[in-house]
Every structure is written in structure tokens, then in C-alpha cells.
Amino acid sequence: MMEKENKKIIRLDFNENPFGFPKEILEKVAREIDSDYIARYTEAPTKELSDCLVNYIKDTTRANFIDERWITVSAGADDGIKLLMELRPKRVVLFPPTYFYYYFFVKGLRLNYEEFPLIDDMYIPKVELKEGDMVFLPNPNNPTGHMFDDEEILRLLNSPATVVIDEAYFEFSWKTSVKFLKDYKNLVILRTFSKAFAFAGQRFGYIIAHPEMIERINTVREEYNLSSFVMRLAVEALKNRFLFFGRIKEIEMERLRMAEELENLGLEPFPSQSNFLYFKVEDAEKVRDKLREMGICVRVLWKGIRVSIGKKEENDAFIAALKEILG
Ligand SMILES: Cc1ncc(COP(=O)(O)O)c(C=O)c1O
């Protein structure tokens, strides 16, 4: 009994960063901030944070037109999604399989929505988009992990709809739609620190869009929507970003290895540019439950299994368990 209780559960179901947040950054921030900084209301984003974000966006995209007017901040990308939906579009357009939380907010806010399934789970179908539509598209996609290409995104942008590209996994693909912002006022880009920056429990995200769109979003955003501590931590993470990028490389190598291992089991993982893999398998729910009994958590989404890339030993345990289950 005791032994069972003490067995460490392997969490491969939330696409979190398995390496944790660097302790040295956490300790530096804790040493540097004073108690008054914690005690005061602090408008978000601070100047320091917004400068660091602009610098990061420019460094990683060469989009030199971006300045602080082009960004706003949210308590994670989910909060960014909610802020956008609070602008109350006439119709939300989704392309399943997609990020399941879009449905949570659409339903919670009682918005009108329509779904157009991806062709072969990969390609965006032709849809007539209208004024008042808001499209949500994760790129790389979740749960499949694959990237939509620029032509598909341009097809959406060349419409009267607001097009929200959710780049939660940007640092795993290094491909972005930021370059389209200059020409498309209807484009909104969502980002998060939850994945690459190992920040999921701290809740920090940012939104990049034309200043007019940012102004609209700020009308539904609370001025103090982020903790002052989180903002300091985000600044320090950005200043030390290369600490995180090394870990991303490791995750990428593990993803390639895991994909090969899955193929060796006769499975067909989708091509992924994120920190997870997705594959279809018969009785996915049964497989998930058996994995759970063996102490490994994965997710079933749209009848497929999505597994996060963990540390090497966690991935090995997952592959060994799957091998046993599939016989
Ligand atoms: C596509 C996508 N968007 C948004 C989020 C939410 O991220 P956050 O933790 O920043 O709310 C996730 C998290 O899994 C995601 O996969």
C-alpha cells in the first residue's frame, strides 16, 4: 500500500516543461525584490517587462516595427484567449482537432461558434469567413503538434475575420506569423511562458497585434492582471533565455527519439514541432487507463493519444509501458 502511494506519477499530460524553472533565477529575483514591491499595486506590464518582450520579439523574428504599443500581457495564454473572446465576436470559428480549452471559454461566455474539421486532421478546409468572425488556430497545432503553413494562414488573413494564431509552442518550432502583422490588422498572436520558459504555475502570457487591436483588448483587461513577482520573474527569464533554449534542444532530441520508438511499435505519430507527440491507436481510452494504472498520465483527445515529451527516463518508462500494453 505504502509503496503504491509513494510511487511517483509520471505526468505527460499537460505539455509542461519537465526540467523545472532554474533555481538560480528564482533565488536572484527573491533576493532583489523588496517587500514594498510585493505590497504595491503594479500596473501590468511594467516598463522593464514590456522592453524585454519587445527586445525578445525583435530578436527572434526580425520584426523591427514592433514596439510596446504592439503588445499586451495576460495571465497565461488561456487568459489571452478569454480576453479575446470577451470582445464578443459574432461567431468563433474552430478547426478541430484543436486546443480543447477554446470550447471551454466559448461555452462559458455563451458565444456562437462553428467547427470545420481539418482535412486529414492536418489541413485547413476552405471556409467563408465573415465580418465579426474570430478564428482560433494553434500553430503548431494542439493536439497534433504539426505546423500549418504560411499559405494556409494567409488564406485566413485575407478575409474580414479576426485571426488569432496561438503560438503557445513557438520556441519549439521557431516559426511565427509575426511577419504578417505589418500588413494584417486582423491578426492577433498569442504566446505563453508556460512551455519553453517552465512557467506554467506562474501564469504569464503576452499578445502581439496591431496597436488598434491591443487598445481594444486592453478595454477588457484589468490593469493589474499580473502579479508583480511574476513580472520580475519573466524579465529575468528573458534576460537568461539561453538557459531555457538548451533545454528545448534536449526536448527536441527526445521528441525525435520518441517518434522513432513509436514508429517501431507500428504507430504513426504526427510530424510534431512542439513538446509533445500525437498518434491514433485503437481503444485510445483503454490504453490511457492502462498507462494510468502503470503510473503514467497521458491525454486522449479526438480519439488519439497526446503524450508530452518528458525527461529521458520518463519517456523510456512510457515507451516500455506502451510496448507492454500493445503486446
Ligand atoms: C495551444 C495552447 N494554447 C494555450 C495554452 C494555455 O497556456 P497557458 O498555460 O499559458 O494558459 C496551451 C496549453 O497547453 C496550449 O496548448
Domain range summary for the chain, segments of one domain joined by +: 2-20+242-326, 23-239
Cβ–ligand 1 contact at 265 (below 6 Å): no
265 Cα–ligand 1 center, Å: 29
Which of 78, 137, 139 maximizes ligand 1 atoms within 8 Å of its Cβ, making it the mutation to test the pocket? 78
Ligand 1 pocket member 142 (CB < 6 A): yes
User: Do residues 258 and 77 touch, judged by C-beta distance below 8 A?
Assistant: no
The CB of 145 under 6 Å from ligand 1? The reply is no
Q: β-strands 304-308, 276-280: how paired? A: antiparallel
How far apart are the C-alpha atoms of 240 and 218, rounded to whole Å? 29
CA 327 distance to own-chain centroid: 34
Q: 192 CA distance to ligand 1 centroid (A)?
A: 7
- The single-letter DSSP state of residue 223 is T
Residue 202 CB–ligand 1 contact under 6 Å? no
77 lines ligand 1 (CB under 6 A): yes
Q: Which three cell numbers stand for residue 291?
A: 498507462
Q: Is 76 in the pocket of ligand 1 (CB under 6 A)?
A: yes
Q: Model confidence over 54-100: pLDDT tens digits?
A: 999 999 998 999 999 999 999 999 999 999 999 999 999 999 999 99
CB atoms within 10 A of CB 306: 26
Distance CA 144, CA 122 (A): 8
Instruction: Pick one of 3.90.1150.10, 3.30.1490.20, 3.60.15.10, 3.20.190.10 as the CATH number of 2-20+242-326.
Output: 3.90.1150.10
Cell numbers linked to 96: 478541430
In angstroms, how far apart are the furthest CA atoms of the chain?
62
For the stretch 187-239, pLDDT in tens is 999 999 999 999 999 999 999 999 999 999 999 999 999 999 999 999 999 99
pLDDT of the residue at 100? 96
Q: Which fold has domain 23-239?
A: Aspartate Aminotransferase; domain 2 (3.40.640)
CB 168 near ligand 1, within 6 Å: yes
pLDDT band at 327 (very low <50, low <70, confident <90, very high): confident
| Residue 99 in contact with ligand 1 by CB distance below 6 A | yes
Q: Whose CA is nearest to atom 16 of ligand 1?
A: 142
Rg, C-alpha atoms of the chain? 20
The single-letter code of the amino acid at 161 is A
For ligand 1, the distance from its centroid to the CA atom of residue 155, given in whole angstroms, is 24
pLDDT in tens, 299-320: 999 999 999 999 999 999 999 9
275 lines ligand 1 (CB under 6 A): no
Cα(222)–Cα(236) distance, integer angstroms: 24
Report how far ligand 1's centroid is from the alpha carbon of 264 (Å). Answer: 30
Residue 297 grid coordinates: 498520465
Chain segment 271-301, per-residue pLDDT in tens: 999 999 999 999 999 999 999 999 999 999 9
| pLDDT tens string 119-172 | 999 999 999 999 999 999 999 999 999 999 999 999 999 999 999 999 999 999
C-alpha cell read off for 206: 503576452
As separate numbers, helices (DSSP H) first and strands (DSSP E) second, the chain gives 13, 12
pLDDT at 6: 58
Q: Rounded to whole angstroms, how far apart are CA atoms 80 and 246?
A: 27
* Distance in Å, CA 164 to ligand 1 centroid: 13
| Pairing relationship of beta strands 296-297 and 133-138 according to DSSP bridges | unpaired
**192 CB near ligand 1 (under 6 Å):** yes
Tell me, in angstroms, the distance from the centre of ligand 1 to residue 191's CA: 8
